[in-house]
Structure 1
Amino acid sequence: MLQFCLAINYKTNSTMKKFNLVILVLAIIFLSNITFAQKAEQPETTYDLGSKINEMTLTVGGILVVATNDGLVGIDPKVKTPVFTFNNFGKLSPEETDFVPESPYIIVSQGVGSKFAGIAKTKRAVINYITGKVIFNSDNDNWNQIYTCNVVLPQNKLIVSGIQKVGDKFEKMTPKVAVYDLSTQKMDYSFFLDKPGRVGVAKDFSVTGVPLLLKNMVIIPTAQGLLAKSHKGDDLWECKIKGVNWMVADKSEKEIYGFETTTNGKNTRIHKIGSNGAELWKDDRKVQGNVSNFQILPQGLAVVSDKSSGGSSSVFAASDESEIAFLSASSGEDLWDKAPKTKGYVQHFYVQDDGILFGIQQGGINKISFDGKTLFKKPLKTGENIMVMAESPQGLIYITSEDANIVNLETGDQVWKKPLKYKNSAAVASTFDSVNNRYLIAADGTIYSIDANSGDVAELANVKFDEKEVADFMQMRNGNIFLSSSQNLMMLDGQGKEVYHEYFKSPSQSGFVKVLSGVMAVASTGLAMAHAAKAGMNRTNPYGSSNDLSNYNDYGKENKRAADMFASIGDAAFDVMSKRFKATAATENAQFILTKLDDGTGLVKVNKDSGKVDKEIVLKDKKPEYQVDEVAGVLYYKANDKTIYAYNLK
């Protein structure tokens, strides 16, 4: 067409020349548009939300929750319109939106809570983001104030406390607790924390912590003490222990431990109560700092507490470190004559058959028997930031930002002749090559090969990534070694020879968002959920201890645990989550990289095995806002202030 226009233009007069020049320009534009359309991916679905978008959150259940100036919107890529829109409370800040770990629930809040009735109205709502249903709305149930609002799993219940404007004038002023079933969306039972209309000195019955829901009762911690009620709301017992923040029960539910943070926040008091409300310890047990890990064992109670100086340089200030204590379950007395020195924060904490294994963030690994004896011949010195502590066939493998080794789990003796040492690296990647029976570790631009039997170390290859990046992911693929970072991908053969190296320039050094690749993204989600279980509301670890030492390279263990847990709850939304965690990542053979394309900033889908670009999506913005769902294979892109595009990445 271009040649035809030029031929006519050459033989005609000036008027015709102008006309044909216009034709020529239009033809060029037309052809360039065809080229662009063929290159750019079109969004699968466009969501016009009608209000300014403030934040996007990809949930563990696979729904994108968008915070707008009007409220919250849920997007499911399989549905052309939002699965829910919650505008009842208007614009919500991140602090007012709580994504409950290991669940399909969001708790939204509005208003500042008060323990005194009538001062300031507070609102709470609970949304099931998978079904799109608003399960609880304090306005609909006439709650004028909400003190606490807690989802309890695996029972799938909601416990609310506050002032409900229902009943006579005294009942409308008396603190109350209600328990809702999240599956049926109905209230199971409710009860007052004080007798409505009671005459006498006013008492403060504000709820001070998270209620503990057991098989036969619910225990409410209040400023007046612990109150136990039956599942019908009948009084069972009262205990004068006040100000408890959280509780945990043993498997029999006959022994309950309550944790009370002192007023200054520097210490924690541990109380033990029987299922009849009796105090089982003569005196409470005080530990320094806040309890970060607690586990009930047959031999006693393992407690980790974190002390903080708060930035103070005073000689009287606490050190920034953890304390590990092992207490008698019967008396609360310390069973160890001398607590192990940590000289830093406990980063890893694992309970094994013969004792407790722990790693310190500032460096160091040790193992203590349940009777307080050191099981390692001497504390193991390591580099800072222990990224990996895991079981391997040869022993305990650890990888830090400075060194790596395998040690005997019973004695602490080195399996490798000496630790593998390297320069302090911002990221360290590793994997196990089962075909060649070797560990591969990439740090500071060097790939080390360590024979699994002999521990002999060899430098397999030196790699150089552009933009001074270092590999943060490594994977064996069909006998080859795959390495990646934010902007670089590389494949080496088994001998360390480069198969390909692809580099995609970042749009700006601060403009890209790291997108985790396939399997690792799924694994990291599972690990994050395991951490949430450890720090969860009831701290009972109902699905098995999160203090179990994982197996090296076993990415699927946490995912299976999560999938089984979701399936056991027996609710439709949890069933959806279970299937999601059983699924293989839809994009496991590709990596997504934000880069500078000819037509602007965009996302490229790169095949891990070939290094070739399978798909380009132009996003235009220099600093685009987007989320990638690796499991479902979907890219969510904020196209403008009110619109989100969903792209199919499969």
Structure 2
Amino acid sequence: MPTHSLVIPRFGRALLVAAAAFSLVSAPLHAAEKLWTAKLKEKVTWNALTDLGTLLIGTNGAVQSFDPDTGELLWTRDDLDKTSEFNVREVHGAPYLLCNHSKGLGGTKVKLMAIDYLSGETVWETDEIMGQYLATYSIPSHQMAIFALNSWEGSKDEQGMIFRAVDVLTGEVKWQTRYGKANEVRLHIADNTGKFAPRQDLSGYHDPLVDGDMAYLGFRGVDALNLTTGEIVWTQEFKPGHKDFKRTYAPLRIDGDRIYAAGGGSVLALNKADGSVLWKSDRISSYAGLFKSRDNAIVSQVEPINGKVFIRFGGNFSNGQSVLLREPLGVAAFDANTGDELFKFAKPKEGITNLMIIPEHNTVLFADAKKLYGLNIEGAAVTEKFEVEIEFKRKMGGGDVAKIGLGALGGLSGLAKGAMSSSKSRLDVPVAIVRRDGHIVVMGKQHLMAFDPVAQDIKWSTYYAAPGNVLGDSLMFAVTALAATAGNAQVAQAPSYSSSQYRSGVGNIHGALDRYNARAGKRNAATQSSGGYSYVLTNVEEGRKKGIGLMGISLENGEGEKQLLLKDKKPEYLVDEALDRLFHIEKGKTIIAYGL
């Protein structure tokens, strides 16, 4: 849910939580305390934490909400069946969930609604619409929600992909705009969709970027949507990075009177007023082989700073069912005014993290499988400032390698390239760089490393091997299709490196919602006093008992200081790191909450 700058979001935290580990800590560890248990009637299909920390559980038959402190069932909505997390979205800054319910043949009768997520009561609902639900976007600054649908109502000129804007408080329709034909935008497989009747939606695209009274959409290039009138002011179309993967248009960035975007292997600078192309870079691409066509790079991040535009190309992408490493991999920089290429780095091997902009030190950080790189962005040129070998002070010995079994990696694709590379002593590739509690942390599937960009030194690092019975399954890349990857997901959460997840304009909503404000204040106070831990999966021991569990790693020193034995071969869980609390979904039908 909302986060600041490049702090990893909730779904990115879920990836970090799923990092595989093997405990080598011998010091006494703080044991977790069981807080409550709740039985479910159906297996969980998705789960999420709201802004206030309440726990949402989706099953095939309903959506339920639980009090995170007591385990009390707050409400059940069995009219919200067969949902995914993308169907149930928050209005940030208010306790509202924007939902949709489909019924009829093929789910062609759609009803849109808002419910109070503290009480489960319906705030408002629309009449049924004949069509296909695609997405919901909350615009708190305008007290507005935009629903995207393929509509089959009205004349042929009225049918197609539409945007319907409604007042968040009342559900009153403010405007409706026909965006284009029903098949004009490529859809992707919805998360948690059924195997035999897969649904498709707009979860393969980043949310609109709001700037004043305009929302900039990234569904077919860039569209400028007037939030007051619903008019599509201008459109600049270009191809995505790859049509079959999710989120291969880079998140849009605004800098002054320009919008920076990417697609089809190129970077574009657009005039914010009319969408005209100010410059377009040459295609970044590689030849797959002598008899194969050229393969355009997927430009997955664009960051303007200091009169330059930095990009990352390649990385890990989801097609809605699996996650693959997509090459070529690299970083480049362009002159923001002219589009001239200033720098290109195509040496990353076997993986690449997000770009981490550190403006106070005029540095851009990124990592591949073996090194952490720093670029100096202070002057007119871009130069390499440092290269730091990724070494882990806690390393895996030969006995641990034997416990894992390298054969477990054989059937994996994409990220397995890194694991099966020359780095077999580590079996890990960094996937993201994040800011956590004042630290810059390089994050892998099996390691954490804190880095000081001033001293250009590793402050601490830790590495653990994975439990062998789960390495080849979900833990190798335990990530939802919606999140795609920690690196790709987190950079989309804010309009730029320096901004926070915006909450502007919600004061008029806040004023009348005392229960929300009281709970938000309580959570904020608790968050400020939390200890700063990240949790990784590991083999742990509690007395004579041993098995898969969690290790809490202190972000101050990298030491494992907390642990919890889960007694589950393939555990499913959420960690609320703000409150050091874990929700274990045991065998898909029992929620057990622990204080860590």
TMscore range, shorter length? 0.5 to 0.7
Q: In the superposition, relative to structure 1, how do residues 112 and 566 fare at CA in structure 2: closer, same or farther (>3 Å)?
A: farther
| Change in CA separation of 1:452 and 1:69 when aligned onto 2, cut-off 3 Å | closer
Asked whether 1:483 is paired with 2:408, we answer no
Given the superposition, is the C-alpha separation of residues 404 and 627 from structure 1 closer, same or farther in structure 2, using an over 3 Å criterion?
A: same
Change (3 A) 1:503 1:352: closer
**Which residue number corresponds to residue 177 of structure 2?**
258
- The alpha carbon displacement at 1:511 in A equals 3.7
**Is 1:410 equivalent to 2:337 in the alignment?**
yes
In 2, Cα distance between equivalents of 1:260 and 1:577? 39
2:536 paired with 1:593: yes
CA distance in 2, matches of 1:300, 1:413: 29
**Of 77, 83, 87, which residue of structure 2 is paired with 1:94?**
83
Pairs within 5 Å for 1:568-647: 568=509, 570=511, 571-572=513-514, 575=517, 589-598=532-541, 599-640=546-587, 642-647=589-594
* Residue number in structure 2 paired with 1:503: 463
State whether residues 43 and 645 of structure 1, in contact with CA within 8 Å, keep that contact through their aligned partners in structure 2: no
2:298 corresponds in structure 1 to: 385
Contact 2:149 2:162 in 1 (8 A): yes
Q: Which residue of 2 aligns with 1:474?
A: 433
- C-alpha separation between the residues in 1 aligned to 2:302 and 2:451? 26
Separation in structure 1 between the aligned mates of residue 124 and residue 277 of structure 2, nearest angstrom: 54
Q: Go from structure 1 to structure 2 and tell me whether the alpha carbon gap of 1:581 and 1:523 turns closer, same or farther (over 3 Å shift).
A: farther
Matches of 2:312 and 2:528 in 1, distance apart?
26
Following the alignment from structure 1 to structure 2, what is the Cα–Cα distance between the partners of residues 82 and 527?
34
CA offset at residue 381 of structure 1?
Answer: 4.5
Q: Any idea what the Cα deviations from partners look like across 1:475-533, whole Å, max 9, x if unmatched?
A: 578998642212112245555555543222222222437599xxxx9999887677xxx
Report if the CA contact (8 A) 2:43-2:59 is conserved.
Answer: yes
The answer to whether structure 1 residue 246 and structure 2 residue 162 are counterparts is yes
Q: 1:382 to 1:101 in 2, by over 3 A?
A: farther
Deviation at 1:593, TM superposition (A): 0.3
Q: Is the 8 A contact 1:480 1:491 kept in 2?
A: yes
Aligned residue for 1:55? Answer: 45
**Aligned partner of residue 500 in structure 2, secondary structure:** helix
Identity of aligned residues (%): 17
Could you tell me how far apart the structure 1 residues matched to 2:281 and 2:100 are? Answer: 47
- Quote the Cα distance in structure 2 between the aligned partners of 1:157 and 1:453: 40
Distance 1:297 1:43, change over 3 A: closer
- In 2, distance between residues paired with 1:300 and 1:45? 46
Q: Is the 8 A contact 1:397 1:404 kept in 2?
A: yes
- Map 1:96-111; keep pairs closer than 5 Å: 98-102=87-91, 104-105=96-97, 107=99, 109=101, 111=103
Give the letter for the 1:648 counterpart.
G
What is the TM-score normalised by the length of structure 2?
0.60
Deviations 1:58-112 (A, max 9, x none): 13332212245874432122234222244x55x9333699313436326474742
Which of residues 441, 444, 447 in structure 1 aligns to 2:372? 447
Counterpart AA for 2:88: F
**Alignment CA distance shift 1:567-1:76 (3 Å):** farther
The alignment status of 1:223 with 2:153, answered yes or no, reads yes
Aligned to 1:171: none
Unmatched 5+ stretches in structure 1: 1-35, 160-207, 212-220, 226-239, 269-289, 307-321, 531-548
- Partners of 2:388 and 2:361 in 1: how far apart? 16
In the alignment, what sits opposite 1:134? 121
The separation in 2 between residues aligned to 1:93 and 1:299, in whole angstroms, is 35
The one-letter amino acid of 2:55's match is L
1:258 counterpart letter in structure 2? T
> Contact (CA 8 Å) 2:224, 2:233: kept in 1 or not?
yes
**8 Å Cα contact 2:432-2:443 kept in structure 1:** yes
User: SS state of the match for residue 468, structure 1?
Assistant: coil
Secondary structure at 2:278 match in 1: coil
2:99 and 2:139 map into 1 onto residues whose CA distance is: 14
Measured in 1, the distance between the counterparts of 2:438 and 2:98 equals 44
Match of 2:346 among 391, 411, 421: 421
Using the TM superposition, give the Cα deviation of residue 623 of structure 1 relative to its aligned residue in structure 2, in angstroms.
Answer: 0.9
Larger radius of gyration: 1
- For the pair 1:364 / 2:354, whether they are aligned, the reply is no
Deviation at 1:259, TM superposition (A): 0.9
Aligned letter for 2:37? Y
- Give yes or no for contact 1:635–1:646 (8 Å, CA) kept in 2: yes
- Distance in 2 (CA, whole Å) between partners of 1:114 and 1:395 is 48
Distance 1:127 1:294 in 2: 23
Counterparts of residues 425-574 of structure 1 (less than 5 Å): 425-432=350-357, 437-454=362-379, 455-464=382-391, 467-474=426-433, 482-492=441-451, 494-507=454-467, 508-509=470-471, 510-512=473-475, 514=478, 550=496, 552=497, 554=498, 557-558=500-501, 561-562=502-503, 565=506, 568=509, 570=511, 571-572=513-514
Higher relative contact order (CA 8 A, sep 6+): 2
CA gap 1:380/1:587 in 2 versus in 1, 3 angstroms: farther
Is the CA contact (8 Å cut-off) linking 1:585 and 1:630 kept in structure 2? no
- Size of the aligned set, in residue pairs, is 458
Distance 1:209 1:325 in 2: 15
Root-mean-square deviation over aligned CA pairs: 5.6
Question: Hey, what does 2:311 align to over in structure 1?
Answer: 398
TM-score, length basis structure 1: 0.55
Name the structure 1 match of 2:4.
Answer: none
